[in-house]
Amino acid sequence: MDREFLIDLFADFGPVTIRPMFSGYGISADGTNFALALRAGLYFRADEVTIPQYEAEGSKPFQYQTRAKTVTVNSYWQLPARLFDDTEELSEWARAALAAAQRAALQKRPKARKVGKAVPKKAKEKVVKKTAKKSKPRKKSTS
C-alpha cells in the first residue's frame, strides 16, 4: 500500500496523517494513531468494545515473528478485505478505531504527581550521614 492509495482509501473518513512506521505507515487523525498499513495488510486499533466486530468478520489480531516466538498484538486487528471496496463503511470502522485509540490514550494518562521534588531514598541517607558528621562538636585542645 502506498501513500496515495491510503489517502484515497480514507477520503470519506476525513483528513489523516500518514507517517512512515516500521515496514509501512502509521495512520492518525487529530494526533491519535489509529491504524497501521503494513505489508501484511491494514490494521485498525481495537479494544473490548470493537474486537467482537473483527471476530465476527473472521479477522485476526496483528502478529509478528521474533527469533524465539510469535508475538500477537491484540490492540490492532486486520481490516476485513471487503471494506477496501466500500470506503463509506471503511470510514465507520475507522471512526470506531479512532475512538478505541482515544479510549486507550485516556487509560494511559499519567497520574498527577506531587508538587515537591522527589529525592531517592539512598540520596536522603547520604544527606543524613553527612549532616550527622558535621554536627559532632569538636574537642578543644587544652594546652
Question: Is 60 contained in some domain?
Answer: yes
> So what's the pLDDT on residue 69?
97
Question: Is 22 contained in some domain?
Answer: yes
Look up the CATH number of the domain holding residue 19: 3.30.1460.30
Question: Is 130 contained in some domain?
Answer: no
Question: Is 132 contained in some domain?
Answer: no
Strands 70-78 and 24-29: unpaired
> So what's the pLDDT on residue 22?
80
> The C-alpha cell of 4 is what?
496515495
Question: Is 143 contained in some domain?
Answer: no
The whole model's pTM is what? 0.74
Indicate the number of domains in the chain. 1
Helices marked H in 15-86: 51-56
Q: Which residues sit opposite 71 in a β-bridge?
A: 64
Range of 82's domain?
Answer: 3-108
> So what's the pLDDT on residue 127?
54
Question: Is 120 contained in some domain?
Answer: no
Question: Is 53 contained in some domain?
Answer: yes
Question: For residue range 13-64, what is the model confidence (pLDDT) as tens digits?
Answer: 999 999 998 889 999 999 999 999 998 899 999 999 999 999 999 999 999 9
Of all residues in the chain, the percent with pLDDT exceeding 70 is 76
Question: Rounded CA gap, 101 and 103, in Å?
Answer: 5
